[in-house]
Structure 1
Amino acid sequence: MSFWNSTKKTVSKAGSGLRGGIVGGSGGALASSDPEFNEQEQRYRNLERRAMRLLQETKDYRGSIAGMTTAQRALATNLTAFLLDVQRPQDYQAAYRQAATNIDQTSQVQFDEVYVHTVLEPMAQYCGYLPEFNKAIKKRKALHDDLEKARKTLAKEQGKAAEDPMGVERAEQDVQYAESAYNALNAALIREIPKLINSRVYVVDPCFEAFVKSQLQFFKDSLQQMDSVTRFVPSQDGSGASDDDRILNERVVGVMNQVRGLRICSFNM
């Protein structure tokens, strides 16, 4: 089994139980104070903001890798075209162009497939639960408004109980129903939000591990592709590295001085 396939299988196992661990019924009608819910909602909002930012950054990173390999390949192609009539550097131009093409068409494609499966999709799946919690929080507010409305109606009916005794009974039933619905959802949110927050560990940990491994594999593959170009580059043994850089800089300065010495360039000086 290749590295890429084994990495995808590992992350798939890690995230398989996420849905069952978070999404469930609303449970019994347990009363809950607003301060307790407010605390959990604040924790949820912090999680939501950070999770969506992390998801966007995972998308941006994927795009940056693809953009980098595409730009590298384009640079290699245009470098060859720029020096098409120069005989001496054609060998290393061809080697670099081939290496850049292999990185863009093979190494990057393999990295992208694993990255999407082990990093981007699990994060997107996790963030996909957030709209459901937002709907539940919005519904809780609506149920709270219904409860307040039912209580006001009951107070009015109690004020005219002598005229319509059955009206008070109906209003009391409406209040009981509204309280039951509100308390059930309120308790469910207080119970489920911490589960959602805690479950992020079981998503991020395997994703981050897969991200590091796939990143290392991508750069390793890219380095292997670039090895075909290194034989055209003067070796540096450490002690002579500064001398090589100095010689290269002197050559560049010499060439630029020759360019500045051209008659057409002197017109702009």
Structure 2
Amino acid sequence: MSWIGLKKAINRAGTQVMLKTGQIEQTIDKEFEFEEKTFKTMEQNSILLQKRLRSYLESLKLLTNSQINIAELLNSFYGNEEPSSHIVENSITGESIENFKNLSSEYYTTLKKLNNESIKDLENPFNQTILNPIARFNSYYIEVNEAIKKRNNKLLDYDSMKNKLKKLIDTPQIEYSNYDLKFKEINDELLETETKYFEINNLLKKELPKLINMRIEFFDPSFESFVKIQLRFFNENYFHLKNIQNKIDSKTQKDYIDGKLDDRIDEILNKMKMLDIVGKDESG
């Protein structure tokens, strides 16, 4: 920072202190304050939206990975069944274990394919049509906030010069040998700071509403793309999983629809409790 810049920063800090303590009359622009507040709300929400959208993509990846992990364990569970001389039947559905081995294997293969293809096909358009546009939109906040900071600095300079002129006017002229020259010097500086302040202040009041209104036009395509990408992803999952469901025996499907499958599962659990495996007296 240059010496002039440092001097300005010190003077502005002093002006801020006097404003807070009521020693200087503060210039208030309600119209600008409203536009700034609206802008800050939009900034906060769109930055949070970018964060949540990034998390959403990561959540889908975690979801598909979790599905694969479960499918892999199920496949291992059925696949580790020891060969038997006779066909073992599932006590709940009446299907052979071999059928479940085939289904669990197909389930694992299907989810692995979905993870490799669906996420891959989803990630690029998600980045291109959703994440990248909102990141680009949010990048403009840096420049706008710099302009607001500059406006606030010009306002401090303006209020400081108004206070200097007021103090000069309130001071008896007899204390100044060159009162007219001092008055002209401060008044000229006041007019200069006033011009700079109102120039950037009016510009921001004009441009901030335009930027705020642009959010609808800008985000509409991304919102539409977000819905379509979701629809495509979950439709693909539904389509492939529905094919596997159709291969489950019709009795199991009917019992599930009728709410009887839980009763059959409870029946098997009760039979498991009655198995004479645990609870024996070791001394016997």
| 1:79 maps to 2:74 | yes
Paired with 2:270 and 2:57, the residues of 1 have a C-alpha distance of: 42
**1:26-48 residue CA offsets vs partner (Å, 9 max, x unmatched):** xxxxxx97011122122223322
Aligned twin of 1:105: 116
The aligned counterpart of 1:202 is: 217
Q: In the aligned structure 2, how far is the partner of 1:188 from the partner of 1:163?
A: 38
The 5 Å alignment of 1:86-235 reads 86=81, 88=98, 89-157=100-168, 159=171, 162-163=177-178, 165-235=180-250
Structure 2 gap segments, 5+ residues each? 1-26, 82-96
Measured at CA, do residues 151 and 251 of structure 1 come closer, stay the same or move farther in structure 2, by a change above 3 Å?
A: same
For the residues of structure 2 that align with 1:233 and 1:224, how far apart are their CA atoms? 15
In structure 2, what residue type is equivalent to 1:72? Answer: Q
Structure number with greater Rg is 2
Structure 1 unmatched ranges of 5 or more = 1-31
Cα deviation, residue 156, structure 1: 4.3
Q: Which residue number corresponds to residue 43 of structure 2?
A: 48
Superposed displacement of residue 146, structure 1: 1.1
CA contact (8 A) 1:99 1:228 kept: no
Retained in 2: the 8 A contact 1:72–1:100? yes
Q: Greater RCO between the two (CA within 8 Å, min separation 6)?
A: 1
CA 133–264 in structure 1, closer or farther in 2 if over 3 Å, else same: farther
Query: What's the CA shift for 1:181?
Result: 1.5
**CA apart distance, 1:102:** 1.2
Aligned pair in 2 of structure 1 residues 236, 59: CA closer, same or farther (>3 Å)? Answer: farther
CA contact (8 A) 1:259 1:265 kept: no
- Report sequence identity in percent: 25
CA contact (8 A) 1:236 1:244 kept: no
Once residues 251 and 134 of structure 2 are traced to their aligned partners in structure 1, the CA distance between those partners, rounded to angstroms, is 43
1:258 aligns with 2:253: no
Normalised by the length of structure 2, the TM-score is 0.72
- How many residue pairs are counted as aligned between the two chains? 234
RMSD: 2.8
Letter in 1 for 2:54: K
Counterpart CA distance in 1 for 2:201 and 2:255 is 68
